[in-house]
């Protein structure tokens, strides 16, 4: 049989790499599947990195290189492949790539991030590589002493516009909002206003890209008046937000929100047990490297405790021919301590046909929730995987009756 | 892979017979640097069938723009000096280049 991974991480950006560090350091068999040639996700495509805590002087590519080195240090494995399909029912889950390779894992962490949103302007696709760009560090060199347009007004758009001023003669930012209003943080707004090379066109969006072979004109549309203006430029950089990479989840039970982001709880768990999501792909308010890394760590730790609980349950309860006495308890609850004592006195542990399994409801929420245990102590008698008796807060006599 | 520049581009590409595949790149373009080794593999694969060459746009910017290349990485396929196809984008894969070249050899 093919190898079965404990954690299979889809996507090798900051969230996936952080998850790999935590997973492999805990000695879990960890695999990262990444579709592109290079690890690092979005971070490989820009330069400035000023807000990752504890790393004062760095660049985005440098930071993410050390993420990669760190993940490799503890033995995480890496493979290249674009995940196209998931089979999530059952304890062992299957992951298939576009090229048809198949991997198996007991838990899955989806860390596929988000990709640049296309604007959908006329000519946008046609002029890609010929003046329309989504990557400033890739293409800035072309625009030394030329005029460029940046479409968008969020953090990335403004940051990249500032970066482009190191090359271009003039950078014009096309903002859809009213004059003075941008989605970017104040800090970026102030830097943009203070930069002599930056100009703004407000209330506007890109309607069409024109040119003879290469871009020479951006047709701008005023969103208030509908008026179209032709704007001479040599290049158009589009940063109008991102869309989550979740197409491959369409046929699964993993719940997405309206925009296609994955819905999780605070433990990064999705609507499917054993499947977690981390980073930009998740429905959440702040999408940054540090939050992606935090998500990745949480997902790894939660998936480890899921694996422990699930494997313990399978091994001790489902795979035995004895009658299993499952006691849901909690060390801080006196009643449940008394009940455990009663069970021990009844000699369950000496009985060759019976087996006692204790579940601490605080630590093992997986099994507690699965069997809908809301009060402790609760005792279940399980035979061949089926519950045959259920006792909630039983008196000593009740226990005696069913156990002896 | 042959290094192109202003001085030899005309002769090696535009006046060259057969298939020429040009990889436009620059030092600051990470996706270009990642793609390069795979393009070098393709150069070996198509040895004798197509000529593979690379052009660093640093210092050759005007030349690249004359070929209507303004985004990296860009791979342009020429046949008998005529531009046939231009593949581009930071997510460009060597397999896409392979497929495109296969149509001409
Ligand atoms: C221009 C720009 C500037 C930014 N500046 C900053 C900044 O200064 N500070 C900061 O903290 N944050 C910044 N961010 C945000 C930060 O980069 C993201 O929040 C972070 O990269 C999210 O990490 P992630 O791992 O969740 O996703 P991503 O970085 O998007 O990584 C996801 C990975 O999954 C892979 N993938 C996708 N689909 C599949 C699939 N089907 N199969 C296999 N692999 C797949 C992708 O190839 C990618 O490598 C910036 C973003 C941009 C665009």
Q: Which ligand 1 atom is the nearest neighbour of the CA of A84?
A: 41
Q: Can you give the pLDDT at residue B28?
A: 83
Q: Shortest CB distance from B26 goes to which of A44, A141, A214?
A: A141
The whole-angstrom separation of Cα A39 and Cα A78 is 10
Q: Which among A9, A113, A133, A151 is the best mutation to test ligand 1's pocket, defined by most ligand atoms within 8 Å of the CB?
A: A113
**Within a domain: residue A164?**
yes
Q: Can you give the pLDDT at residue A47?
A: 84
- Tokens of residue A211, six digits: 């040119």
Q: Can you give the pLDDT at residue A11?
A: 98
CA distance to partner chain A, nearest, from residue B58 (Å): 7
Report strand pairing: A4-10 vs A242-244. Answer: unpaired
3-state secondary structure of A214: strand
* Chain B residues whose beta carbon lies within 8 Å of the beta carbon of residue A61: 30
Q: Which domains does chain B have, with CATH numbers?
A: 2-92 (3.40.30.10)
Ligand 1 neighbourhood includes A18 CB (under 6 angstroms): no
**Within a domain: residue A302?**
yes
The whole-angstrom separation of Cα A297 and Cα A305 is 13
ipTM of the complex: 0.82
Q: Same structural domain for residues A261 and A276? A: yes
CATH of residue A186's domain is 3.50.50.60
Q: Same structural domain for residues A142 and A79? A: no
What residue ranges of chain A have pLDDT lower than 70?
1
The whole-angstrom separation of Cα A330 and Cα A210 is 69
Q: Same structural domain for residues A44 and A87? A: yes
* Residue after which a domain boundary falls, among A180, A207, A240: A240
Ligand 1 neighbourhood includes A294 CB (under 6 angstroms): no
Q: Which ligand 1 atom is the nearest neighbour of the CA of A33?
A: 43
Q: Can you give the pLDDT at residue A1?
A: 52
**Within a domain: residue A352?**
yes
Q: Same structural domain for residues A157 and A303? A: no
CB A16 within 8 A of CB A41: yes
Pick among B37, B40, B70, B100 to test the A interface (most A CBs inside 10 A): B70
Q: How far is the CA of B98 from the centre of ligand 1 (A)?
A: 28
- Tokens of residue A77, six digits: 């494995």
Q: Same structural domain for residues A355 and A396? A: yes
Q: Same structural domain for residues A19 and A92? A: yes
* Chain B residues whose beta carbon lies within 8 Å of the beta carbon of residue A213: 68
Q: Can you give the pLDDT at residue B61?
A: 92
Count CB-CB contacts under 10 A for residue B13. 21
**Within a domain: residue A122?**
no
Please name which of B74, B75, B53, B55 lies closest in space to residue B63, comparing C-alpha atoms.
Answer: B55
Contact B73 A138 (CB under 8 A): yes
CATH of residue A378's domain is 3.40.30.10
CB A297 within 8 A of CB A19: yes
Ligand 1 neighbourhood includes A351 CB (under 6 angstroms): no
**Within a domain: residue A379?**
yes
The whole-angstrom separation of Cα A310 and Cα A3 is 19
Residue-number span of the structural domain to which A326 is assigned: 320-403
The whole-angstrom separation of Cα A316 and Cα B67 is 69
**Within a domain: residue A394?**
yes
Total domains, chain A:
3
Q: Can you give the pLDDT at residue A189?
A: 97
Mean pLDDT along residues B17-42: 93
Q: Can you give the pLDDT at residue A212?
A: 93
**Within a domain: residue A127?**
no
Write down the pTM of the prediction: 0.87
Q: Same structural domain for residues A12 and A111? A: yes
Q: What is the pLDDT of residues B56-95, one digit of tens each?
A: 998 899 999 999 999 999 999 999 999 999 999 888 989 9
- Tokens of residue A30, six digits: 């960890």
Contact A142 B32 (CB under 8 A): no
Q: Can you give the pLDDT at residue A48?
A: 86
Q: How far is the CA of A183 from the centre of ligand 1 (A)?
A: 19
- Tokens of residue B13, six digits: 């590409």
The whole-angstrom separation of Cα B102 and Cα A176 is 44
Q: Can you give the pLDDT at residue A324?
A: 96
Rounded CA Rg of chain B = 12
């Amino acid at each position: 049989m093919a190898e079965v991974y404990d954690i299979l991480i889809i996507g090798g950006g900051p969230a996936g790499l952080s998850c790999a560090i935590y997973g492999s350091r805990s000695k879990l068999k960890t695999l990262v599947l990444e579709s592109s040639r290079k690890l690092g996700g979005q971070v490989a495509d820009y330069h400035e990195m000023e807000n990752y805590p504890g790393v004062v002087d760095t660049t985005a590519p440098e930071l993410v290189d050390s993420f990669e080195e760190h993940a490799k240090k503890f033995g995480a494995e890496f493979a290249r492949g674009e995940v196209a399909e998931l089979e999530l029912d059952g304890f062992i889950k299957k992951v298939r790539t576009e090229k048809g390779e198949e991997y198996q894992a007991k838990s899955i962490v989806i860390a596929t991030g988000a990709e640049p949103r296309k604007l959908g302007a006329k000519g946008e696709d046609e002029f890609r590589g010929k003046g329309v760009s989504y990557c400033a560090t890739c293409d800035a060199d072309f625009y030394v002493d030329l005029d460029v347009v940046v479409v968008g007004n969020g953090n990335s758009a403004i940051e990249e516009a500032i970066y482009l001023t190191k090359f271009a003669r003039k950078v014009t930012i096309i903002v859809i909002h009213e004059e003075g209003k941008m989605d970017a943080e104040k800090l970026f707004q102030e830097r943009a206003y203070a930069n002599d090379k930056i100009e703004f066109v407000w209330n506007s969006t890109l309607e069409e890209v024109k040119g003879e072979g290469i871009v020479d004109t951006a047709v701008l549309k005023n969103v208030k008046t509908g008026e179209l203006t032709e704007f001479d430029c040599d290049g158009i950089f589009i940063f109008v937000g991102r869309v989550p990479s979740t197409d491959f989840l369409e046929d699964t039970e993993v719940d997405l929100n309206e925009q296609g982001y994955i819905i999780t709880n605070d433990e990064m768990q999705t609507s499917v047990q054993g499947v977690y999501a981390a980073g930009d792909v998740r429905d959440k308010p702040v999408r940054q490297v540090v939050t992606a890394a935090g998500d990745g760590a949480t997902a790894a730790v939660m998936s480890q405790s899921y694996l422990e609980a699930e494997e313990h349950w399978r091994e001790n309860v489902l795979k035995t021919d004895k009658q299993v006495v499952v006691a849901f308890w909690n060390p801080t609850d006196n009643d449940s301590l008394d009940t455990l004592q009663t069970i021990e006195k009844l000699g369950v542990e000496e009985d060759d046909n019976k087996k006692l399994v204790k579940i601490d409801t605080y630590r093992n929420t997986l099994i507690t929730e699965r069997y809908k245990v809301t009060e402790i102590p609760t005792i279940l008698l399980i035979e061949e995987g089926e519950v045959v008796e259920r006792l909630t807060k039983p008196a000593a006599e009740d226990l005696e009756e069913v156990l002896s | 892979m042959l290094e192109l520049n202003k001085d030899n581009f005309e002769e090696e590409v535009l006046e060259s017979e057969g298939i020429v595949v040009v990889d436009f790149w620059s030092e600051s373009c990470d996706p270009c640097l990642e793609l390069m080794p795979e393009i070098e593999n393709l150069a070996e694969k198509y040895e004798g069938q197509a000529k593979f060459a690379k052009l660093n746009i640093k210092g050759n910017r005007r030349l690249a723009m004359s070929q209507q290349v303004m985004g990296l990485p860009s791979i342009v396929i020429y046949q008998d000096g005529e531009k046939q196809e231009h593949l581009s984008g930071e997510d460009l894969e060597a397999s896409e280049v392979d497929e495109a070249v296969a149509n001409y050899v």
